[in-house]
Structure 1
Amino acid sequence: MADSVERLYQAVLAARDLDPATSRTARLFRGGSGKMAKKLAEEAIEVVIDAVNGDRDAVVRESADLIYNLTVLWASAGVRPDDVWAEMSRRETLFGIAEKVPKSALKIADAATLHPVRRPITALETHAARKRR
């Protein structure tokens, strides 16, 4: 997959200066990072809705759109796919492939019984505090 994303990234870079009238990628670049971020968020929401509705095929299609829009945003921000893969590799080394809890916090022998404390989600806590006022 990394090769596919790299090819997509290179195609995005090649298309960014094309005519916005004929290139969706060029239109996104012309619209700026705000437009790119909005499109990325829209695609993420579509993936979520399709997943909640149990529409696997739509999740696949919308996920491809999501990756495209993420790649456009990366290109705009000067982020290369290899930068993201390096960060993923760094996290895997520190936390494990599917974990966010540092390995040092885990006792390997007790891993099956460990229940890590969840970090608070600040945005939700702030929202809840505002509602109580």
Structure 2
Amino acid sequence: MNAMEKLYQVILERKASAQEGSYTGYLFEQGLDKILKKCAEECGEVIIAAKNGKAEDTIGEISDLLYHLTVLMANEGIAWEQVEAELERRAQKLGNLKKFHQVDKDT
């Protein structure tokens, strides 16, 4: 079991039986809006840390974002295996550069 799977299991345990003082339990108690707000906040912090160029800070912020995304997954009933399967599916694609359409600004 890798670190993400372990994290997911702990989060599921906190969801099933909230412990007093548990931040994870607090997020579930507050609901989807709070979880989404934290995901957005952490995403912004990843961007700022990366822009500042300190790998240690960026690693910490990415870890925070992954934690909050995992809480979101658990809240929405999305299993870690489903995300892994999607990542595997995408890894099989070759030449998957998306083509962007040109916008004619004169029309």
Same fold (TM over 0.5): yes
CA-to-aligned-CA distance 1:23-43 (integer Å, 9 cap, x gap): 000000001111101101111
Highest RCO, 1 vs 2 (Cα 8 Å, sep ≥ 6): 2
Shift, 1:119, TM fit: 5.2
Give TM-score scaled by structure 1 length: 0.69
Alpha-carbon distance in structure 1 between the residues aligned to 2:22 and 2:74: 16
- Equivalent in the alignment of 1:30: 29
Specify the alignment match of 1:118 in structure 2: 100
Question: What runs of 5+ residues in structure 2 fail to find an aligned partner?
Answer: none
**Structure 1 counterpart of 2:47:** 48
Counterpart-to-counterpart distance in 1, 2:99 and 2:82:
30
Would you tell me which structure has more helix in proportion to its own residues? 1
> Which whole-Å CA distance do the structure 1 matches of 2:101 and 2:55 have between them?
31
Q: Which runs of 4+ in 1 moved over 2 A?
A: 116-120
Classify 1:18/1:58 alpha carbon distance in 2 versus 1 (closer, same or farther; 3 Å): same
**CA distance in structure 2 between the aligned counterparts of 1:82 and 1:5, rounded to whole angstroms:** 11
Q: Spell out, residue by residue over 1:102-127, the C-alpha distance to the aligned partner (whole angstroms, 9 max, x if none).
A: xxxxxxxxxxxxxx63357xxxx9xx
Aligned-pair RMSD on alpha carbons? 2.2
- Under a length normalisation based on structure 2, what TM-score does the superposition of the two structures give? 0.85
* Higher alpha-carbon Rg: 1
